[in-house]
Copies of this chain bind each other. A is one copy, B any other.
Amino acid sequence: MTHSSGKVKSFLDASDIEASGAIPTTNSTTLEIHKVSVPPRITTLQCLKQRLSEFFFPDDPLQQFRNKSFFRKVVLGLQYVFPILEWGPQYNLKLLRSDAISGLTIASLAIPQGISYAKLANLPPIIGLYSSFVPPLIYSVLGSSRDLAVGPVSIASLVMGSMLREVVSPDTDSLLYLQLAFTATFFAGVFQASLGFLRLGFIVDFLSKPTLTGFMGGAAVIVSLQQFKGLLGIVHFTTQMGIIPVMQSVFGKTQEWSWQTILMGFSFLLFLLVARHISSRNPKFFWVSVAAPLTSVILSTILSFIFKVPEHGISTIGHLQKGVNPPSLNMLSFKGSHLSLSVKTGIVCGILALTEGIAVGRTFASLNNYQIDGNKEMMAIGLMNMAGSCTSCYVTTGSFSRSAVNYNAGCKTAVSNVILASAVLFTMLLLMPLFYYTPNAILSAIIIAAVVGLIDIQGALKLWKVDIFDFLACMSAFFGVLLISVQMGLAIAVGVSLFKILIHVTRPNIVNMGIVPGTHNYKSLAHYRDATGVPSFLILGVESAIYFTNSMYLQERILRWVREEEERVLKLNESTIRCIVLDMTAVTGIDTSGMEALLELKKKLNRRSLEFVLANPVGEVTKKLFHSGTWEHFGSQGVFMSVREAIVGTSDKFQF
């Protein structure tokens, strides 16, 4: 036990007078100084093993297999790979009824959307139906989400279309284009499945929500603008994605505008938007917006048939081949000059599809209070796309809009996907001729009505209020997509997100701390306005790991704090600074450069007759300071368990 003396003691006493009833005012600064313990040493290899297992298996996936019999392990293993084995045996008619209703509901949405999204990817409309048939069937066997409605989605379709069209024209080189689309789908599947298998699923988390908000907003604007081709009936339209060429095509070709198309397109667009609005105002009427697309298709097709619109210059879908998915394994091409294009497109579409699929899966799992395993889900989606690429499907994933409908319509299991697939099969076998008269303008209207919901202005405004950096990330993604290209927008979005993290570690916050009256808590003076500094001490808290990116900055910034504090103290005629306490509580890591910076700082401060002590290093940091020898330079009286002990200990030692 030691006793502090002089100014600091009287200060601490005075501060303690105001303290809570728990602490009497007498001998309150008599404080035992505790040794800072060093966590037990482990070897470098053990440390590596620990870190890797925490990195790749944070969810401890083998936990359920522990202490089970061999037979049970096999059953659990099979159930792990095929979740259908888990819920299948308990399946009953009551569940089927719910699933059938929701399955048919999403089918009414999936069929028009499938045809539209295929057009977004510059693919024949029938590919959209194929892609709504095989993938849902596979997902129902492998997938673990009960609410996911699988099929083509707008963002992945858009990106695939725009990336492939940059190199190959879908009009003049349609066979090559189709081959590339299937090959890209195959690579997307391989990439997705590998991410899951290698347990690198966290990569999708690198697309932060704000950047996705910006990205999707930008993509929605681009997609909507592109739809003017169909809505206005323009024949010669730009193949580029940028906002400028599209606007030029729209307003430069006014002679191609067809008033019949415009009238029909905009009427149905209005109808769809009103339906959307009704549903969003009152969730009970969710079926209004669900029924709207199919209603539009049916109505417009009937109108088109009655008025024989193809003769009046309104373009329609035309002849669609009947029948189920033809095999397309022979269309996959793994050589030639376009291989890198398919790989690149596959990876970009794959990660976008995963991001949407996983986010949707997690959202509805959380609503229904069950857990889904991200890595496992990625393998399911990946395998589904690999299988899809061999059966004339392009990239598919869980669609946000259709999954929401699925959930609202009361789906219970993945059987709703089977019902969806059956409805699509029925359509493909029997109803294809009916689409002959469906005007293309309706498909454009359906796409616009679907993507408009992706523009989240409220969300962007909230970001502006809460986090300026998130807002900037969002805006750069938005304008990146709009003004440069979809891929660049995505790259910018990821870059900005990661840059934000690096900035946090490059320019960490340093706070000047004082004691909060009535407590033993030392807090930032800027945060707690009633906290007061301790005379002769400068207590600084570093709010970041100390790494090579900030070690130089921290040195210079701390020296500036000392200089400014000395000037302030001189001006106010307070007692001179004698000791700098560095509160390491929030220093969550340190590397070799960081430790050198601490030593350098100690040397510089000591040269100016200032003490420099550390308070409360966390376990990881303590270990490193100890094993690198930095600890010895500070000595046992240079590292304390808490700021309070550092102050008492230091004032004891130097008698100030």
Contacts and interface: CB of A to CB of B under 8 A. Distances in A.
Interface of A: 1, 20-24, 27-32, 34, 37, 39-40, 44, 47-48, 51, 54-55, 58-60, 202, 205-210, 362, 366, 369, 371, 374, 462-471, 497-498, 500-509, 511, 516, 518-521, 523-524, 526-530, 543-545, 547-553, 556-557, 560, 585-589, 591-593, 595-596, 600, 603-604, 607, 616, 618-620, 622, 624, 627-628, 641-642
A467 B623 CA distance: 10
A205 to B, nearest CB: 5
Q: Which 4 A-B pairs have the closest CB atoms?
A: A208-B548, A527-B619, A543-B588, A20-B32
B549 A519 contact: no
B548 A497 contact: yes
Contact of A509 (B547, B586, B620): B620
Contacts of A552: 202, 205, 362, 374
Given A44-B465, A210-B591, A500-B547, 5 more contacts: A22-B27, A34-B519, A39-B527, A44-B468, A466-B595
A588 B209 contact: no
A524 B620 CA distance: 11
Contacts of A505: 501, 505
B586 A586 contact: yes
Contact of A506 (B205, B362, B511): B205
A586 B618 contact: yes
Nearest to A525: B619
A205 B498 contact: no
Contacts of A1: 20-21
A233 B27 CA distance: 83
B591 A588 contact: no
Given A20-B30, A498-B502, A600-B366, A58 B553 contact: yes
Contacts of A604: 366, 369
A639 B552 CA distance: 35
Given A466-B592, A519-B642, A507 B30 contact: no
Contacts of A469: 591
11 contacts: A21-B30, A44-B465, A58-B507, A60-B560, A205-B551, A462-B592, A465-B628, A467-B591, A467-B624, A526-B619, A586-B618
Nearest to A596: B209
A556 B58 contact: yes
B28 A591 contact: no
Contact of A592 (B374, B467, B518): B467
A526 B618 CA distance: 10
B588 A544 contact: yes
Nearest to A45: B468
B44 A591 contact: no
Contact of A470 (B20, B60, B592): B592
A593 B641 contact: no
A416 B466 CA distance: 55
B511 A641 contact: no
A505 B22 CA distance: 39
A516 B34 contact: yes
A466 B628 contact: yes
A465 to B, nearest CB: 6
A549 B202 contact: yes
A588 B584 CA distance: 12
A205 B516 contact: no
A504 B594 CA distance: 15
Contacts of A593: 208-210
Contact of A585 (B544, B548, B585): B585
A257 B207 CA distance: 58
Given A37-B528, A553-B202, A588-B504, A516 B22 contact: no
A24 B24 contact: yes
A7 B275 CA distance: 58
B518 A58 contact: no
Contact of A549 (B206, B600, B607): B206
B642 A521 contact: yes
Contacts of A59: 556-557, 560
A403 B88 CA distance: 75
Contact of A586 (B209, B371, B556, B588): B588
Nearest to A28: B22
Contacts of A206: 548-549
Contacts of A550: 205
- Which of A44, A501, A560 has the most chain B CB atoms inside 10 A of its CB? A501
Contacts of A520: 520
A519 B520 CA distance: 11
Contact of A502 (B501, B586, B588, B616): B501
Given A585-B586, A618-B543, A470 B210 contact: no
A615 to B, nearest CB: 11
A35 to B, nearest CB: 10
Nearest to A622: B527
B553 A589 contact: no
Contacts of A32: 20-21, 518
Contacts of A543: 588-589, 618, 620
A203 to B, nearest CB: 9
Contacts of A560: 58-60
Nearest to A549: B205
A332 B626 CA distance: 54
